[in-house]
Structure formats: structure tokens, C-alpha cells
Amino acid sequence: MTATQRNTRGSIHTMLVKHADVLVTMDDTRRELRDAGLYIEDGRIVAVGATADLPQTADDVLDLRGHLVIPGLVNTHHHMYQTLTRALPAAQNAELFGWLTSLYKVWVHLTPEMIEVSTLTAMAELLLSGCTTSSDHLYLYPNGCRLDDSIDAAQRIGMRFHASRGSMSVGQRDGGLPPDTVVEREADILKDTQRVIEAYHDEGRYAMLRIVVAPCSPFSVSRDLMRESAALARHYRVSLHTHRAENTNDVAYSREKFGMTPAQYAHDLGWVGRDVWHAHCVQLDDAGIDLFARTGTGVAHCPCSNMRLASGIAPVKRMRLAGVPVGLGVDGSASNDGSQMVAEVRQALLLQRVGFGPDAMTAREALEIATLGGATVLGRDDIGVLAPGMAADFVSFDLRQPLFAGALSDPVAALVFCAPSQVAHSVIGGRQVVKNGVLSTVELGPLIERHNRLARQLVEAAA
Ligand SMILES: [Zn+2]
């Protein structure tokens, strides 16, 4: 039966993408196709190939002459609520612990409306910069805030979303870093985590929403909570996420409190395996790299944040050579201070070269980490690649912009080497979320106005 015949029954929606100058598949042989496109049925890719070899009609046709098409970028680490506290003067020039201490007292005033609006804003920025799937790590729940507030935002804007139910339970009186006013009781954390898994988690292929269990960091939760969180996640077969070995103070805290390196502590807690990924790992030692490689434990590399907080240079090249799954993350908006995925890809390449030489990372490796790498880290086999049977998540960049001029001898490398571009189109699960550079699901003007009003309110509440 042809697609046209099925369309007359009105049961299947079809989309044809044609004439892309270059289409990056990220498939097993990393094919890059010229004058190419995709044929999509009900949000899933049915065919990838030269325009001439694809069906010639569809319900929606996207002619991408002059464009580069890549799989949608996957963001593996973020704290979207921090979009309300970017570039705050008090937190501009500190390392991790000092930076956190000056911000906790602002974040304690967050409201449910602030979570929802800041998540929408962060996602708008992600979508316009090429990201189609994002995780978010929300670990403070003051004033009635719930993970549901960020889930609502993702559903409204149309982003594929891995919502992490973060948590903090060890405040200053128990030797932790956060003030006692922002930590929760462990029983409440576990109960609410179970609630959101049961209410929202979709383990099926092409899921638009998954839940992740994510105690915040070694210096803000107990051993018990780490262990019980792992047991809960494994009972429901959901992923685990946390921060690990972010800088030398983080390593010193681990040695002093637990008598172990961050990797040894992760191993001791059962926090290794293909269902676990750790943010940063800037200071992961060789034994830790071996452990992560052996167990398939993933890493979210966040180059901008690592530079911003002077945390160091994560040994991504060594991790990848050893076989550690590595994805890319923008990290929270108070330590980046942006959610620009293409910019993050570029920084990943540049930072590895600063640390480890000009051949430490190629443009194509950086793109692979940001697509296929991120999909693997999130435990997904249905995104990050443009091939039959995969979700129709892709973005296009118009190669005729000034920032690409003179770079078209290699348009794929140009995307990484040249200044970061906004997308022309973004399609997620077959739905066009960005069209001709404009977000089609949320009106940006009023959103940003509301976001800035709430950001002012938040800072004033803490003054
Ligand atoms: Zn983080």
C-alpha cells in the first residue's frame, strides 16, 4: 500500500523533507548525504536518502535547498529554573561551592509559576539552538513547587523531555552545603518521586516524557537517600542522574566525608550501570574512567559551565577512548549562562583542544557526542540518528547566513567551527516546533516579558 492510498483513509500523517544540501544521518557508517531528505509517517522516519529516491508527495513537504539537516541535539544536563538567575552580580566570580552558597538563598523564593515560565524560556532557547530532547534536573521544591510545573511547560512547548526528580536532604546543620530551609525530608522525597514516576513515566519507544531519579550531589544528600533512590529507580526501570567529581573541592569533600574518591563512592552506592549518568566528571580519575567504561555508566559533559566556574577540563577524549558513553549538557543557566546547544558543541571541541591538543576532538566527534552520545546516555535507541525506525527529530540550519559564508567546503564542520547559528526548522516526533526560525508553539514576546518580571520578583524577594 502506498502512502497516498493510506492518506485517503486519513489514518496516517506523512511528511517529506527534500533537497537538503547535506543531511547528517549519524547512522552506523556515519553517512552524510547530498541533495537528500527524509520520508516520515506519523512522526517516525520511514526512509532516508537522495531526494530522487524518496516518495514525491506527502501531507507536508519541506524543501530544504540551502540547508544542513542533522539529528536533533540532545541535552543531558540542565537546571532550567536557573534561567531566572543568570549573571547575578553576587555569583559572577565564584567557584562551585561559593557560587551555590550565594544562590541558594535566592532560589528558596522560587514559586510554581517561576518554575513553569523559566522552563518554557530555557526550552525556547534550547529549541532555537538545535536541541529537540532535553533532560532537566530540578532539585529544589520550595513554596509548593513540583516537578509537574516543568512537565507542563515541556508539554506546552513540544519538547521531548526527561524530567529529573532531583532532591536535597542534607542541610548545613547536618554538614551539607545547602541551607536547612531548602532541603526536604527523605521520606517525602521518595514518596513524591514514586508519585511522578507513576503519574508520568513512559518507557515506550518514541516516549515524549520520561522521569529520572536524581538526588542532587554528594554534598547535599545522604548515603541512604542515594541507595534508596537507586532501588526505587531500578524497581520502576527508570534512569538515575546526579552530579559527580565536578571540581577539586568536590573530590576533597568525598575523601573527607566518605573516605573515597567520587568514583569509588558511586560504585559503593550502586550508582554505576547503563541506567546511570553523572554530570561533569571533570575530576574523574583513571580508575573512575575504567569503572565507568566497564559498567557503561554515562557522563554529561558541560564545557561552558566547567569554564565559567573554573572547574577544569573534563578528560572527554580519554573517557571516549576507554568506552565511556559521553553526552553533552549546557548545565544550569546560572553557570553557563545560556541554553545554546550549538554553542555548547563548539565549546566542547574548543575546550578539549585547549586541554589535550588539536586532535583531541574533531567537529564530527563533537556533533556525535551531542546527538548519538546524548541519546545513549539517556538510555534511548530511538533518537539521535536519522534512520528508518527512528523518531522524526531533526533540525535544519540555513547555510546562506553570513556566519557560514566561505565555510561551505565542509558544511558539517562549519556548523561546529563557525559562530553558533539558530535553527531554521525543528521537527520533533514529526511535529514542526520551529518554522522559518520562529517558535510555533509558544509566543516568545509575552513569555520573555513575564520571565523578566518573575526574575525581578525572585531577586527582590531575596534582597
Ligand atoms: Zn548541574
Q: Ligand 1 centre from 78 Cα, in Å?
A: 6
How far apart are the CA of 279 and the centre of ligand 1, in A?
6
How far is Cα 462 from Cα 252, in angstroms, rounded to an integer?
31
Same domain? 157 vs 238: yes
- From ligand 1's centre to the CA of 248, what distance in Å? 16
Rg, the chain, Cα only: 21
- Ligand 1 centroid from CA 461, angstroms: 24
* The pLDDT value given to residue 11: 84
Three-state DSSP at 320 gives helix
The reply to whether 104 and 236 lie within a common domain is yes
The overall average pLDDT reported for the chain is 96
Distance 124 CA to ligand 1 centre (A): 19
Q: Which pLDDT value is given to residue 272? A: 98
CA count, 13 A, side-chain hemisphere, 91: 26
Tell me if 30 sits within 8 A of 386, measured CB to CB: no
Residue 159, in any domain of the structure: yes
- In the reported structure, the alpha carbon of residue 203 is separated from the centroid of ligand 1 by a whole-number distance in angstroms of 24
Please tell me what DSSP assigns to residue 455. Answer: H
Which range marks the domain in which residue 32 is found?
Answer: 14-72+384-439
Q: Residue 48: what residue type?
A: V
Give residue 429's identity as a one-letter amino acid code.
Answer: G
> If pLDDT is split at 50, 70 and 90, which confidence band does 3 have?
very low
Do residues 435 and 323 both lie within one domain?
A: no
Rounded distance from Cα 237 to ligand 1 centre (Å): 23
Report if residue 449 sits inside a domain: no
Give yes or no: residues 218 and 233 share one domain: yes
56 Cα: distance to centroid of ligand 1 (angstroms)? 46
Q: Within this chain, do residues 346 and 400 fall inside the same structural domain, yes or no?
A: no
- Classified as helix, coil or strand, 326 is strand
Same domain, 155 and 202: yes
From the CA of 377, how far away is ligand 1's center (Å)? 16
Instruction: Evaluate whether residue 458 is within a structural domain.
Output: no
SS3 call for 96? helix
**Quick check: is 4 in a domain?**
no
36: β partners:
20, 50
Q: What pLDDT is stored for residue 262 in this prediction?
A: 97
Average pLDDT of 138-143?
Answer: 97
**Residue from 324, 415, 408, 420 nearest 366 by CA:** 415
pLDDT in tens, 301-353: 999 999 999 999 999 999 999 999 999 999 999 999 999 999 999 999 999 99
For residue 323, report the distance from its CA to the centre of ligand 1, in Å.
Answer: 23
pTM strictly above 0.95: yes
Q: Which helix (H) or strand (E) element contains residue 19?
A: strand 14-24
Provide the grid cell at 166: 532531583
| Ligand 1 center–CA 192 separation, angstroms | 21
In angstroms, the Cα distances linking 307 to 334, 357, 381 are 13, 17, 31
pLDDT, tens digit, 9 for 90 and up, residues 146-199? 999 999 999 999 999 999 999 999 999 999 999 999 999 999 999 999 999 999
CA of 460 to the centre of ligand 1 (A): 24
Q: Are 159 and 110 part of one and the same domain?
A: yes
Taking residues 388-401, report their average pLDDT: 98
Q: CATH number of the domain at 340, please.
A: 3.20.20.140
Q: Is the domain of 141 the same as that of 290?
A: yes
In a domain, 232, yes or no: yes
Residue-wise DSSP of 149-169: HHHHHHHHHT-EEEEEEEE--
d(CA 66, CA 53): 19
Q: Say if residue 374 is in the same domain as residue 390.
A: no
**Cα-to-centroid distance, 280 and ligand 1 (Å):** 8
**Scanning the structure block, which residue is given the C-alpha cell 540542565?**
78
Q: Is the pLDDT of residue 1 over 50?
A: no
Residues 80 and 68 in one domain: no
CA of 329 to the centre of ligand 1 (A): 9
Residues 110, 99, single domain; the answer is yes
Measured in Å, residue 272 CA sits from the centre of ligand 1 at 18
Q: Where is the domain boundary, 363, 378, 393?
A: 378
Q: Give the residue-averaged pLDDT of 422-431.
A: 98
Which residues neighbour 96 within 8 Å (Cβ) at sequence distance 6 or greater?
Answer: 246, 247, 249, 250, 309, 311
Per the structure, the count of domains in the chain is: 2
Residue that is last in its domain, among 378, 400, 423: 378
Q: In this structure, is residue 178 part of a structural domain?
A: yes
358 and 389 inside one domain? no
Q: Decide: 23 and 48 in contact? Cβ < 8 Å.
A: yes
Work out the angle between the directed axes of helices 444-462 and 96-107 (0-180°, nearest 10).
100
CATH number at residue 402: 2.30.40.10
Q: Is 116 helix (H, G, I), strand (E, B) or coil?
A: helix
**pLDDT exceeds 70 at position 2:** no
- Return d(Cα 398, Cα 66) in angstroms, integer: 6
pLDDT single digits (tens) 226-236: 999 999 999 99
pLDDT at residue 20 is higher than 80: yes
Domain boundary among 378, 401, 416: 378
Mean predicted confidence (pLDDT) in 249-256:
95
Which of 140, 151, 130 lies closest to 374, judged by CA?
130
DSSP one-letter string for 267-288 = HHHT--STTEEEEE-TT--HHH
The 10s digit of each residue's pLDDT in 44-73 is 999 999 999 999 999 999 999 999 999 999
Please check whether residue 35 lies inside any domain of the structure.
Answer: yes
Distance between Cα 240 and ligand 1 center (Å): 14
Residue 193 lies in a domain: yes
What is the tens place of the pLDDT at every residue in 201-222?
Answer: 999 999 999 999 999 999 999 9
Q: In the chain, what is the straight-line distance between the N-terminal and C-terminal CA atoms, in Å?
A: 66
pLDDT of residue 5: 42
Kindly give the distance from the C-alpha atom of residue 77 to the centroid of ligand 1, in angstroms, as a whole number: 6
Q: What is the pLDDT of residue 287?
A: 98
